[in-house]
Structure formats: structure tokens, C-alpha cells
């Protein structure tokens, strides 16, 4: 492949941009006011707030985001912080107004590459700013020599070399004059993993990678060695190339994650680079599969707090056991945030999840239930151990929470059906007295909310509907059999207000009490 063809192939990949702006006219003006495709630029999505924008960033993984600062739900600065944490190589441009000076300063501190005034910008000004960024992204592709076709090794020599054995062929790669990167790749599906990695190495979007070998210790793990020729090819450029490939190749049941080391150029640094690539790959635990991560030295102190505290777990269990579904779900999300704290070790998070599932299943067991029919003969411990990322663990835990909740509803409905029968007898014996749902619930030793839920489930009627129906039936009987005034009868069956009695009576019979008494009907 010639150098010129190599560069032209790389430039065929359009710069992918996401637009996040809450004002629809501004957003549509950016999208339709410029012929982006003519300049090798593709708009991959749009969002009206930071929260929706962040979700699109996670799914589309664009090269660049153009965003407003002040937006509903999640503002631009908060979205930028998340992007910097999860996908640090995405370039970000902000749209500002003059009053946003402090916010602009904060955005620049977060690594925003440029900003334009959205109230005064012209399409030409915006396009010029974007093309400047696009040009900076493609500048390092001026490689001094023709990049040869990638070499795929199926033996263990490179793996052995990476793990410390002296292999002359690989030793000659480290000359001290050229920069190298090491990448560690995880592929979720091993059946066609080798072919997938070969496709990546031969892809025009990733043709700067040079060598690959399967790690003999794990068929789902691969190593790549990237010769940079000089330090002009920064890890971010490799990151962009590999990310571009992943966007196009992660279908078909594959899920690929890549960890990259920092550049090195001596044998003494090889071991460090291997550890860096492995550490970068481990970051997929927090981000999920399908990401390319560059090693970043830890700057935050290790968080040694438990992932799930005893107090928060107790609050969750109380809500779960009392079948306060909305509260239980809220407490679940407090236990399991949508994003794991990267300063907390993956094993500490797993330990917290082991404890959570054990406690939840013990609660279910106390009520006479189990999960054998739902776990397909797998143990929860094995499932948690085999799930490699926090997003996968979060999804599984939410499904377990839902199943346990449903089972508890069923078990409690069976157990408490007799209490509902007692409550019905109590209502029929005491309907003429002032009755409140909390009084009847207390009579059968159930919480008010759970009693209301179980009463409706067992009778098909709410407590209030059943009480009114019971009182109206007794009132009909008295209206047919005695000469008392209708409002006196209303008081006898528990209605203190005559107007309210007449209203409820008509709702059930289509007649007022006076009309019913006069007609002597038997409905």
C-alpha cells in the first residue's frame, strides 16, 4: 500500500459529530445550515439536553461533540465531565453566550477544545472552527514511510516475549529509536475472535496497528504491538482509529474492548507498558464492553468504603419486604448507581454485589421461595463472577430484583389471603361505624399500603369501593323495610353527611335514596 493511498483511505472516514442543544432552531440551524458531508463530516445524532446527549455519546461514540452549556435535566458541563471520564478522546466544542464566561472557563479547564458564540456565529464561522479541529485530528497521519501490511502471528512467540521470555525476533523491534505501543484486546465471543481481530488489523480505519498474537493463557484475549515510527502517532490517534473500527464491527454478537499502553522505546519499559495496557483494559469493568481505553495514571485515592453500606442495604430490604415497589426500586438505584465509582476497585464492587444477592435470596427463602426455576441451574455466585463489566452486573441485579419482587408478591398474597378474609368480616360487622383503611389494616396486623394492595388484589375492589358498596346494600334493605327518613338511614349505615350519602347511593343504583324508597324497587 502506498503512502498516499494510506492517507486517502484514512481520510475517507468521516468525522462524526453529535449536536447537543436545547433550542431547536439553533440545533436545526447547525444541522441543516451547513453541507457537512461535502467536508467529510457526518452528523450522527442530536439531543435537546445533556442527559440524552450523554446517552447518545455512549452509543454512537462520535469523534466530536458540539454542545450548549445551559440545558435542562443535565447541563453541558456535567455532560462534559462524564464524557471526559468515560471517553476522554472525544473532542468537544461548546456554544456559549457572553454571559456564560465563568462556565466557558470551567469548560476549558475540562479540556474543551474550542468555543463559539451561538448568538452571533455564522455557518461559515462554525464550519471553519470544526474544520480546524478536523485538520488537527488528521495531522499525525503524515507517517514518514509506507506502513506495511499488518502481520498476524498464530504462534506463542510474541505472547512469551511479552511475558518475559527473550525472543530475538521481537527484541529487534525495540531499537531505542522508534516508539511502540502495546494493546490488550478482549473479545467476548471466542468462536470467531481470531477472524475479527484480523479484520481489525487489516481495516483501513486501523491499519496503523502492526502485530497481533493470541494470548495462550486465554483464547478471548489478544495482544497487539504497534510501531509508531516516531512519537508523532500519539495513543489518541490509535484510539481514534480503533474506535472507528469498533463502531463498525461490534455487531454479530461480538463485543470488543481494547486497552492501550503509553508509548515506550526500550526493553526496560516493556513490562511497564504491558501492565499499562492490562490496567487500561480493566477499565472496561466500569465503562462496559465496546470501548478503547488509554492508560491513565491514577490520580484519585483508592476508595476503600464498602460498595453497599449496611444502612442502605437495610433500607432497601425493608422496602422490598413490605412490597413498596416504587420505594424499593428507588432504594435499588441508590445501592446501584448507573455509573460505578472508578476509584473503587472492581473486586470491592463485586464483593458488595455478592453480599447483596445473598441477603436478598435469604429474604426470599424466609418467605418460602427460591430462585431455582429462574437461574437455570447456575449459582448467583458463578453468574456474578462470570459477568465482566459493571453495566452487565447492574442489568443482572435489576432483573434479579424484579424477579424477587414478583415472587414476594405471590408468596405474600397466598400467606395473607386469610387476613383479607378477616378484614371483610370486620367491615361487614362494623360498616355503620367510622371506618378508615388504616384502622382495618391494623385490625389484621398489616401495613396500610400492603393491606390496600392485597385487598384490591383479592377482591378486585378498592377498600373504599367495598365499604361504600356494603353500606349502600344495607341502606337499600332498610329503605325497603322501614319508614325512617332516607337521611336517617344514611346515618345508620355510616354516612354522616346526607348529601354525600345521596351521591354515593346514586352512583351504585342510578337513583337517589328518596327515589329508591318511593319506587320500592328491588335492585
Of 271, 261, 275, give the one whose Cα is nearest residue 164.
Answer: 271
Global pTM exceeds 0.85: no
Q: Is pLDDT above 70 for 401?
A: yes
User: What pLDDT, on a 0 to 100 scale, did the predictor assign at position 342?
Assistant: 82
Calculate what percentage of the chain has a pLDDT beyond 70: 75
Measured distance CA(94)–CA(108) in Å, rounded? 9
**239 grid coordinates:** 484510539
User: What pLDDT, on a 0 to 100 scale, did the predictor assign at position 296?
Assistant: 78
Q: Please name the fold of domain 414-519.
A: Arc Repressor Mutant, subunit A (1.10.10)
**82 grid coordinates:** 462524564
Domain residue spans of the chain: 3-141, 151-294, 310-412, 414-519
Q: Where are the alpha helices (DSSP H) in 155-307?
A: 157-162, 168-171, 193-202, 235-249, 270-282, 284-287
Q: Is pLDDT above 60 for 219?
A: yes
Strands 256-260 and 180-187: antiparallel
Q: What is the mean pLDDT of residues 249-268?
A: 72
3-state secondary structure (DSSP) of residue 321: helix
Measured distance CA(452)–CA(199) in Å, rounded? 60
Q: Is pLDDT above 50 for 10?
A: no
User: What pLDDT, on a 0 to 100 scale, did the predictor assign at position 210?
Assistant: 54
Measured distance CA(340)–CA(359) in Å, rounded? 21
Looking at 3.90.1170.10, 3.40.50.300, 3.30.70.100, 3.30.70.270, the CATH number of the domain 151-294 comes to 3.30.70.270
Q: What is the mean pLDDT of residues 375-393?
A: 84
- Of 270-274, 276-280, 317-321, 455-459, the one with minimum mean pLDDT is 455-459
Q: What is the mean pLDDT of the chain?
A: 78
- Residue 145 pLDDT class (50, 70, 90 cuts): very low
Q: Which long-range contacts (CB under 8 A, 24 or more apart) does 472-480 make?
A: 472/504, 472/505, 472/508, 472/509, 474/431, 474/432, 475/501, 475/505, 475/513, 476/509, 476/516, 476/523, 479/513, 479/516, 479/517, 480/517, 480/520, 480/522
- The CATH code of domain 3-141 reads 3.40.50.2300
User: What pLDDT, on a 0 to 100 scale, did the predictor assign at position 464?
Assistant: 93
User: What pLDDT, on a 0 to 100 scale, did the predictor assign at position 335?
Assistant: 94
314 or 191, higher pLDDT: 314
Measured distance CA(420)–CA(403) in Å, rounded? 25
User: What pLDDT, on a 0 to 100 scale, did the predictor assign at position 438?
Assistant: 92
User: What pLDDT, on a 0 to 100 scale, did the predictor assign at position 148?
Assistant: 43
Q: Is pLDDT above 50 for 23?
A: yes
Amino acid at each position: 500500500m502506498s503512502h498516499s493511498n494510506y492517507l486517502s483511505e484514512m481520510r475517507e472516514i468521516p468525522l462524526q459529530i453529535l449536536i447537543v442543544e436545547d433550542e431547536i432552531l439553533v440545533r436545526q440551524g447547525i444541522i441543516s445550515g451547513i453541507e457537512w458531508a461535502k467536508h467529510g463530516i457526518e452528523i450522527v445524532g442530536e439531543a435537546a439536553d445533556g442527559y440524552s446527549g450523554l446517552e447518545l455519546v455512549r452509543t454512537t461514540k462520535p469523534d466530536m461533540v458540539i454542545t450548549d452549556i445551559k440545558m435542562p435535566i443535565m447541563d453541558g458541563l456535567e455532560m462534559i465531565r462524564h464524557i471526559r471520564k468515560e471517553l476522554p478522546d472525544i473532542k468537544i466544542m461548546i456554544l456559549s453566550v457572553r454571559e456564560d464566561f465563568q462556565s466557558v472557563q470551567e469548560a476549558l479547564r475540562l479540556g474543551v477544545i474550542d468555543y463559539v458564540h451561538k448568538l452571533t456565529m455564522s455557518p461559515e464561522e462554525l464550519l471553519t472552527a470544526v474544520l480546524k479541529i478536523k485538520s488537527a485530528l488528521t495531522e499525525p497521519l503524515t507517517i514518514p514511510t509506507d506502513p506495511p501490511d499488518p502481520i498476524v502471528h498464530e504462534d506463542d512467540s510474541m505472547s512469551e516475549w511479552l511475558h518475559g521470555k527473550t525472543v530475538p525476533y521481537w527484541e529487534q523491534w525495540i531499537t531505542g529509536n522508534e516508539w511502540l505501543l502495546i494493546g490488550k484486546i478482549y473479545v467476548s465471543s471466542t468462536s470467531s475472535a481470531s477472524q475479527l481481530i484480523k479484520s481489525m488489523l487489516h481495516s483501513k480505519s486501523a491499519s496503523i496497528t502492526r502485530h497481533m498474537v493470541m494470548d495462550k493463557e486465554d483464547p478471548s484475549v489478544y495482544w497487539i504491538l504497534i510501531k509508531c515510527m516516531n512519537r508523532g502517532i500519539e495513543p489518541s490517534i490509535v484510539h481514534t482509529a480503533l474506535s472507528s473500527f469498533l463502531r463498525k464491527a461490534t455487531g454479530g454478537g461480538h463485543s470488543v474492548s481494547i486497552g492501550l499502553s503509553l508509548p515506550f522505546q526500550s526493553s526496560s519499559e516493556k513490562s511497564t507498558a504491558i501492565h499499562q495496557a492490562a490496567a487500561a483494559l480493566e477499565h472496561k469493568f466500569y465503562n462496559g464492553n465496546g470501548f478503547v481505553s488509554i492508560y491513565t495514571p491514577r490520580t484519585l485515592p483508592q476508595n476503600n468504603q464498602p460498595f453497599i453500606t449496611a444502612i442502605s442495604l437495610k433500607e432497601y430490604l425493608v422496602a422490598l419486604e413490605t412490597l413498596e415497589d416504587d420505594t424499593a426500586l428507588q432504594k435499588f438505584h441508590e445501592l446501584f448507581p448507573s455509573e460505578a465509582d472508578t476509584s473503587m476497585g472492581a473486586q470491592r464492587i463485586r464483593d458488595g454485589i455478592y453480599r447483596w444477592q445473598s441477603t436478598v435470596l435469604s429474604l426470599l427463602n424466609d418467605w418460602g421461595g427460591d430462585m431455582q426455576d429462574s437461574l437455570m441451574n447456575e449459582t448467583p455466585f458463578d453468574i456474578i463472577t462470570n459477568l465482566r463489566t459493571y453495566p452487565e452486573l447492574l442489568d443482572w441485579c435489576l432483573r434479579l430484583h424484579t424477579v424477587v419482587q414478583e415472587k414476594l408478591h405471590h408468596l405474600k398474597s397466598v400467606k395473607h389471603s386469610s387476613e383479607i378474609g378477616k378484614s371483610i368480616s370486620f367491615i361487614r360487622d362494623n360498616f355503620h361505624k367510622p371506618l378508615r383503611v388504616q384502622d382495618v389494616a391494623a385490625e389484621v396486623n398489616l401495613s396500610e399500603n400492603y393491606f390496600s394492595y392485597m385487598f384490591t388484589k383479592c377482591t378486585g375492589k378498592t377498600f373504599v369501593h367495598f365499604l361504600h358498596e356494603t353500606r349502600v346494600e344495607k341502606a337499600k334493605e332498610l329503605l325497603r323495610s322501614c319508614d325512617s327518613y332516607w337521611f336517617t338511614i344514611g346515618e345508620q349505615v355510616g354516612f354522616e353527611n346526607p348529601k354525600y350519602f345521596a351521591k354515593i347511593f346514586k352512583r351504585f343504583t342510578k337513583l337517589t335514596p328518596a327515589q329508591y324508597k318511593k319506587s320500592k324497587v328491588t335492585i
